């Protein structure tokens, strides 16, 4: 009998650690699976996904730039996916329709609060970026109890649209990117932009970093290095990349598909040794 088929869709996708992660999780339970990375250009994404599930695919992770398209493609959507307007997990239902989930926010908050032992309650948070990654985490940040959330994006219209979608004007505000040097300091700064992935530098002022600040990049590895270097130079108390978030979101998808919760910590430590 052939092993169950799983995949991650993205563009580009060669850097993805998801195949390695899901194989490591499967070994914890003696599960045989085939998990591959599929590079799908945006125009081909829907057709590639439909082909994968028509060929008995059992589950798919979705990463940049396809999360909004995955949400739109699905027939059913979880509460977290609906809240985010995007999906990072697709699962076939018994009747052949597709269900969309979004585990980004829950995974990020679990990484920060459990792995790194940082209580987010009452934090003044600055979110850089208002794209799909930002949409995926804002709800969970507010649920975790951040005091205020300020959204800054190079396109202010996108930041305003995200704030309006959240609908919590007492806690959620937007500011202009060009005003970053004049908006004070924060004790939680999250980089949800694609700058690191694209090899660009954000050129952020050091004045953003409060005395006890946690700076967190939703990407990991080389893509997060520039932001983390800035955070450390600015004197941040903590500077973390999103490797742990990747592990936690993968664990949520694995549990959804297999009904078993993997232990993420040994896989995290192994990947950290390999990738720094």
Report residue 221 as tokens.
């590895």
Residue 40 near residue 26 (C-beta atoms within 8 A): no
Listed residue (193, 215, 196) closest to 132, CA to CA: 193
Mapping DSSP to helix (H, G, I), strand (E, B) and coil, where does residue 100 land? strand
Sorted by sequence, the CB contacts under 8 Å of residue 236 that are 6+ apart come out as 189, 209, 213, 214, 215
Report residue 32 as tokens.
């045989």
With 0-12 / 13-18 / 19 or more C-beta atoms within 10 angstroms meaning exposed / middle / buried, residue 175 is: middle
With 0-12 / 13-18 / 19 or more C-beta atoms within 10 angstroms meaning exposed / middle / buried, residue 233 is: exposed
DSSP string over 202-271: ----GGGEEEEEEEEESS-THHHHHHHHHHHHTT-SEEE-SHHHHHHHHHHHHHHHHS----HHHHHHHH
Q: Which of 67, 83, 123, 258 is catalytic?
A: 67
Beta bridge partners of 26: none
232 tagged catalytic: no
Residues catalogued as catalytic: 67
């Amino acid at each position: 009998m052939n092993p169950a088929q799983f995949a991650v869709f993205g563009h580009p996708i060669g850097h993805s650690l998801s195949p390695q992660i899901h194989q490591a999780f499967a070994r914890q339970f003696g599960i045989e699976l085939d998990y591959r990375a599929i590079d799908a250009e945006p125009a081909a994404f829907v057709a590639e996904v439909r082909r994968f599930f028509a060929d008995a695919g059992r589950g798919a992770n979705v990463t940049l730039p396809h999360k909004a398209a995955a949400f739109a493609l699905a027939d059913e959507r979880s509460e977290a996916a609906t809240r985010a307007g995007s999906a990072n997990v697709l699962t076939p239902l018994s009747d052949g329709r597709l269900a969309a989930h979004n585990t980004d926010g829950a995974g990020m908050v679990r990484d920060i609060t459990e792995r790194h032992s940082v209580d987010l309650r009452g934090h003044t948070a600055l979110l850089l970026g208002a794209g799909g990654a930002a949409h995926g985490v804002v709800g969970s940040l507010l649920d975790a109890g951040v005091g205020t959330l300020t959204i800054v994006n190079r396109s202010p219209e996108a930041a305003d649209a995200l704030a309006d979608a959240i609908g919590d004007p007492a806690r959620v505000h937007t500011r202009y990117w060009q005003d970053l040097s004049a908006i004070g300091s924060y004790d939680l700064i999250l980089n949800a932009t694609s700058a690191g992935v694209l090899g660009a530098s954000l050129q952020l002022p050091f004045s953003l970093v409060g005395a006890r600040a946690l700076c967190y990049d939703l990407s990991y590895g080389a893509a997060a290095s520039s932001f983390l270097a800035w955070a450390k130079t600015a004197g941040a108390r903590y500077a973390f990349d999103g490797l742990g978030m990747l592990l936690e979101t993968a664990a949520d998808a694995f549990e959804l598909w297999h009904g078993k919760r993997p232990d993420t910590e040994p896989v995290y430590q192994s990947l950290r040794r390999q990738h720094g």
